[in-house]
């Protein structure tokens, strides 16, 4: 009877334990599942199972009643270790989500700044339109067709909006426009071919992290080339039917590449504020279990990414 009562109490305690666990940890674990990759979960599982295996080994190989009391502190330590590992994983997931939200806000800020610049440009053109029309009218009345056509072509270049449609995602498109305009202002010849109109399994923030950081590095490298005609950037991004996202960016360069182990070092004076671009890209690729290949020669730098979109 005593053993039966103990067994019932043990089952009740077990049900209560898992209820409380789900009550306090269920919501946080559901968020964590969507953030951590498979390798992180495997590592967390190994850590949790290691302490459990130690307790089971202690019970199985020490059958003497004299050592039985030592099992209970080990079991408590096992529970604390497992809960601590899960709590640490949720804290890391919360940190990653907060960082993604911060990057998302920065990308939205970049989008609205680009939109404001375009609106200012349109207002300026509208303000000057009457003067332009007067000049064209005067040239046409004089019969000066060649100069009128030349003036019209120059005017068309200024009227043309700087916002281009690279893809359907508004945030990604804004980032691409901002970097494209920055490259053109530095005298860099750009070629963008982006075919990612379908809905990807990669979140917009991670996608923008790849585009923004690699393009920033490419533009910075091109600016260091004294001859503007040798500044070139080629970007190709594609979402294939087999579910893979491929990305390749190639830029001309003149600067020397410095590395420390597997990390690329910046050559700017403020090293603390720079040099993190490639590291951020590596984090995104690692999170989605993709591949990243970086190669370079004396006059060219290439980044190739292949990710299986989930």
- Banded pLDDT at 40 (limits 50, 70, 90): confident
Residue percentage of the chain with pLDDT more than 70 = 66
Distance of CA 121 to the CA centre of its chain: 30
Task: Please report which confidence band the pLDDT of residue 273 belongs to, taking 50, 70 and 90 as the band edges.
Answer: very low
The whole-angstrom separation of Cα 303 and Cα 16 is 53
**CA-angle at 207, arms to 193 and 191, nearest 5°:** 20
Give Cβ neighbours of residue 230 (< 8 Å, ≥ 6 apart). Answer: 252
Mean pLDDT of 57-72: 61
User: By the 8 A CB rule, do 277 and 294 touch?
Assistant: no
Average pLDDT over residues 224-241: 90
pLDDT at 183 over 50: yes
To which residue do tokens 């006059």 refer?
299
Question: With the CA atoms of 52, 53, 54 and 58 taken in that order, what torsion angle do they form, in degrees rounded to the nearest 10?
Answer: 110
Phi-psi group of 52: left, alpha or beta (phi > 0 → left; psi -120 to 50 → alpha; rest → beta): alpha
Task: Say if residue 239's pLDDT is above 80.
Answer: yes
Provide the whole-model pTM: 0.56
Distance separating alpha carbons of residues 255 and 277, to the nearest angstrom: 17
Over the stretch 186-203, which tens digit does the pLDDT of each residue have?
Answer: 899 999 999 887 656 787
pLDDT at 293: 92
pLDDT tens-place string over residues 11-34: 676 677 666 666 666 666 666 666
Given a cut of 60, whether residue 269 has pLDDT beyond it is: no
pLDDT tens for each residue of 65-94: 545 566 667 777 777 777 777 778 777 777
Classify each residue of 228-240 as buried b or exposed e, where b means 16 or more C-beta atoms within 10 Å of its C-beta.
eeebbbbbebebe
Instruction: Look at residue 29 and give its three-state secondary structure.
Output: helix
| Close Cβ partners of 297 (under 8 Å, ≥ 6 residues apart) | none
């Amino acid at each position: 009877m005593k053993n039966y009562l103990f067994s019932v109490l043990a089952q009740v305690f077990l049900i209560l334990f898992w209820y409380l666990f789900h009550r306090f940890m269920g919501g946080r674990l559901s968020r964590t599942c969507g953030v951590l990759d498979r390798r992180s979960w495997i590592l967390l599982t190994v850590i949790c199972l290691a302490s459990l295996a130690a307790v089971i080994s202690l019970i199985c190989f020490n059958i003497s009643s004299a050592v039985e009391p030592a099992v209970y502190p080990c079991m408590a330590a096992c529970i604390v270790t497992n809960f601590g590992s899960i709590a640490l994983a949720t804290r890391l997931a919360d940190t990653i989500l907060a960082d993604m939200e911060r990057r998302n806000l920065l990308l939205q800020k970049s989008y609205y700044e680009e939109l404001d610049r375009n609106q200012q440009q349109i207002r300026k053109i509208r303000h000057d339109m009457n003067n332009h029309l007067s000049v064209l009218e005067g040239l046409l009345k004089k019969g000066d067709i060649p100069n009128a056509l030349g003036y019209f072509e120059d005017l068309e270049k200024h009227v043309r909006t700087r916002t281009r449609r690279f893809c359907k995602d508004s945030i990604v498109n804004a980032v691409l426009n901002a970097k494209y305009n920055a490259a053109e202002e530095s005298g860099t010849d750009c070629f963008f071919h982006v075919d990612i109109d379908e809905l990807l399994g990669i979140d917009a923030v991670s996608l923008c992290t790849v585009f923004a950081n690699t393009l920033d590095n490419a533009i910075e490298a091109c600016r260091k080339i004294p001859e503007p005609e040798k500044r070139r950037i080629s970007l190709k991004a594609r979402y294939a039917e087999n579910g893979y996202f491929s990305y390749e960016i190639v830029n001309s360069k003149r600067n020397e590449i410095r590395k420390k182990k597997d990390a690329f070092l910046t050559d700017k004076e403020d090293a603390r504020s720079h040099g993190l671009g490639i590291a951020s890209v590596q984090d995104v690729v690692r999170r989605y279990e993709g591949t990243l290949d970086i190669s370079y020669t004396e006059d060219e730098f290439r980044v190739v990414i292949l990710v299986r979109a989930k």
